[in-house]
């Protein structure tokens, strides 16, 4: 190991990032369970988090409520469609049969960000 720490990037400040433990859905990853990464949001480092769970599955196997919370589309009229559309910004060919990884991270204390008023 060369001492380089991997990064996990988020384009937006999603509400899930303010929780002690947060998920993300990715189409590919070489991260391993127990690995600590830098969490990058809009090109800024928010701190470090440890990968505590890694599961591979098809989009169709992910509950709609999980997809909605993961993508901040839980309040949309058609949650599943909105969530998949949100994921397609990053993975254009995504469909219900696509194999993805569900990654669950836990913030490395004291790195957990504090939610700002009005968010």
Q: 7-107 has which fold?
A: Sulfate adenylyltransferase (3.10.400)
Q: Which element (helix H / strand E) includes 4?
A: none
Q: Which of 20, 28, 24, 18 is nearest to 86 (CA)?
A: 24
Helix crossing, 64-71 with 79-88: angle to 10°?
50
- What are 11's two structure tokens? 């384009």
Q: What is the pLDDT of residues 60-116, one digit of tens each?
A: 999 999 999 999 999 999 999 999 999 999 999 999 999 999 999 999 876 666 665
What are the structural domain ranges in the chain?
7-107
Give me the chain's average pLDDT, please.
90
Q: Which element (helix H / strand E) includes 83?
A: helix 79-88
């Amino acid at each position: 190991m060369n001492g380089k720490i991997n990064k996990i990037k988020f384009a937006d400040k999603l509400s899930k990032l303010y929780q002690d433990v947060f998920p993300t859905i990715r189409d590919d990853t070489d991260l391993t369970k127990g690995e600590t990464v830098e969490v990058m949001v809009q090109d800024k480092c928010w701190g470090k988090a440890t990968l505590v769970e890694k599961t591979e599955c098809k989009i169709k196997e992910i509950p709609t409520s999980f997809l909605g919370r993961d993508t901040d589309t839980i309040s949309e009229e058609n949650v599943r469609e909105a969530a998949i559309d949100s994921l397609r910004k990053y993975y254009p060919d995504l469909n219900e049969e696509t194999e993805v990884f569900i990654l669950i991270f836990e913030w490395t204390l004291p790195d957990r960000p504090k939610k700002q008023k009005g968010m």
